[in-house]
Amino acid sequence: MKIFTSIQEIIVKVFLTLTLVLGIVPIALGQGSWKVYKADGVTPFDCNSEVMVGDKLVFVYNSDSNDYGNIGTYIAGEDRLLGTLAGRDKDPNSRDWTGSHYENAGDFALVIQWRDSDIWGFDFYTFYPVDEYSEPNSTVPGDWFVIDYYPIKAGDVNIGFYIYDEYEGWDEPNYIITIHNAPTRDFDSDGSVDFYDYATFSAQVNNTGCGPPNWCSGADIDRDGDVDNRDLGLFVEYWLWPNPGTEPVEPEYPEDANVIYSIVDVNGLSEITIDVNESITLYVDIASTTENNVWAFDIEVDISDPNLGSIDNMDYPDGTAQILAEPNKDASWDYWGPGAGQDEGIRLVGATDGCAISDGHLASFVFTCEGYGDVTLELKNWASFNTDNEAVFPRLESIFIHQMDSEMMMGGETMSASQESTPSEPIDVDELVSWLEDLWAENKEIRETFTRKEWNNFIDSVENSY
């Protein structure tokens, strides 16, 4: 290839300059390999799978050597229309992408971008001291270089990897990795795949005759001419991408008084008193009066003072939260985990299969009191949709929690066992517990509303109250 003659000439000039100025010369190339990760730079990526347009991959070069290294990574020809390689933190003076070489690559590591009419990519260098007067060799085995790959359009992209060993083998890459770019599911290009995108998708379900360039608003993800269940499965693969990542954008909020989201306890109360160190299951409920009620929600519960309490927001499926929306809930859409607006909060996402969610519990979570004082748990609505796939902006109602020691009485005064108190009629706790057990056995609505574990926890709290 003609282009590599040009690259060779430039690299030779770079080497000669560095030899004269820095007093270093290249020696034998060590053994190394490229590793491919998902966008987080931690999770290995299976190159047989797909990466969605709008997402990214991270390539890391790892070497077992402390020697001189000179490698290249390029995308050539028409493939450049489908994907691109990007360095990190370019120094405009030296043209070195300083963020693309790690400390292991040594003090004289260099990453240089190359673009011409045929190939785009990067060359990577490490250098070795030439004599006893030079600085000690700072190149050590480990991760040397990092570079990002961004898919631009759907299709297969070939990325060539080169090892420039004593200026031989310039014409062809030593090996090629093919990346399969998949069509985006982020139809509104807001950086996340959420119910706004599903609203676009669902509007195209069962459409036929899809074709380029629109592909039925992008909903024909497999590009086979129609929008069917296979496309739905492909859409779900990236549900809540980047799951959750950057904070979603809270919509403008023309509050709808006909739809109410509220946080309540098991008795439906929105103001409660609990003891320090007590844990309690709370619920996010929906009440609505409109005909085309909510079928999908993406909400968050945040704590007014995270120093006074905590929410069990361990990621689905390990956390204790539950998505309770009924009827015909499709678990494919369920999610709970740390909040997007507040890390200490919890994000709750759920949907039915398209029919209206019944009034009652949307979701549950566990809150633990961790200090004295009043706490408010507040709701944030990221997205909600009715059965006409229109955005809904519910009225949001908080819960107020008074947290105190078991000895604290109203007004903030402490009463010890030796102090006088107003006599009250004794309560037969055993009789009350027996009645609650019978209520569980006889009342179907109770069993459908609460799990057995939740009901037992409620009975335990009653017993401990007396």
Using the predicted structure, report yes or no on whether residue 168 has a pLDDT greater than 70. Answer: no
Element of type H or E holding 401: strand 399-404
Same structural domain, 466 and 351: no
Give yes or no: residues 211 and 273 share one domain.
no
**174 and 28 within one domain:** yes
In a domain, 403, yes or no: yes
- For 457, list phi and psi in degrees, rounded to 5: -65, -40
Of the three residues 155, 182, 209, the one that is the final residue of a domain is 182
Q: What is the pLDDT of residues 365-383, one digit of tens each?
A: 999 999 888 999 999 999 8
Strands (E), 209-278: 256-264, 271-275
Collapsing DSSP to helix, strand or coil, 462 comes out as helix
The verdict on 406 and 436 lying in the same domain is: no
Per-residue tokens: 452: 């057995």
Report d(CA 239, CA 258) in Å as an integer.
29
Res 17 pLDDT > 70: no
Tell me the pLDDT tens digit for each residue of 181-232.
999 999 998 888 888 898 899 889 899 999 999 999 999 999 999 999 899 8
Q: Which residue did the predictor score with more confidence, 262 or 189? A: 262
One-letter amino acid of 86:
A
Q: What is the DSSP letter of 102?
A: -
Please indicate, yes or no, if residue 387 is contained in any of the structural domains: yes
Confidence of residue 256 (pLDDT cuts 50, 70, 90): confident
The CB density around residue 452, as the number of other CB atoms within 10 Å, is 9
Distance CA 381, CA 362 (A): 13
Is 421 domain-assigned?
no
How far is C-alpha 465 from the geometric centre of its chain's CA atoms? 41
* CA 215 from centroid of its chain's CA atoms: 27
Asked whether residue 34 falls in the same domain as residue 105, the answer is yes
How far the first Cα of the chain sits from its last, in Å, is 86
Residue 420 covered by a domain: no
CA distance 434 to 427: 13
pLDDT over 60 (residue 170) = no
Least confident of 84-98, 248-262, 325-339, 433-447: 433-447
397/439 same-domain check: no
Indicate if 44 and 111 belong to the same structural domain: yes
The tally of domains found in the chain comes to 4
**207, 122: one domain:** no
CATH number at residue 79: 2.60.40
Looking at this protein, which amino acid is placed at residue 219?
Answer: A
pLDDT for the residue numbered 101: 94
Could you tell me if 69 and 13 lie in one domain? yes
pLDDT band at 425 (very low <50, low <70, confident <90, very high): low
Report helix, strand or coil for 457: helix
The answer to the question of residue 424 being in a domain is no
CATH number, domain of 264, equals 2.60.40.680
pLDDT tens digits for range 289-331: 887 889 999 999 999 999 999 999 998 888 999 999 988 777 7
Q: Which helix (H) or strand (E) holds 461?
A: helix 452-464
Classify residue 369: in a domain, yes or no. Answer: yes
Would you state the pLDDT for residue 128? 61
pTM of model > 0.85: no
Residue 416 belongs to some domain of the structure: no
**Cα 249–chain centre separation:** 14
Distance CA 324, CA 182 (A): 33
Q: What are the pLDDT digits (tens) for 132-141?
A: 555 677 888 9
Residue 419 lies in a domain: no
The residue segments making up the domain with residue 349 are 256-411
Q: Which residues contact 461 (CB under 8 A, 6 or more apart)?
A: 280
Residues 6+ apart with CB under 8 A from 103: none
42 and 111 housed in the same domain:
yes
Beta sheet of 346-351, edge-to-edge order: 271-275, 399-404, 373-386, 294-303, 346-351, 335-338
Distance CA 232, CA 197 (A): 12
Evaluated on CA atoms 29, 32, 34, 40, the torsion sign reads negative
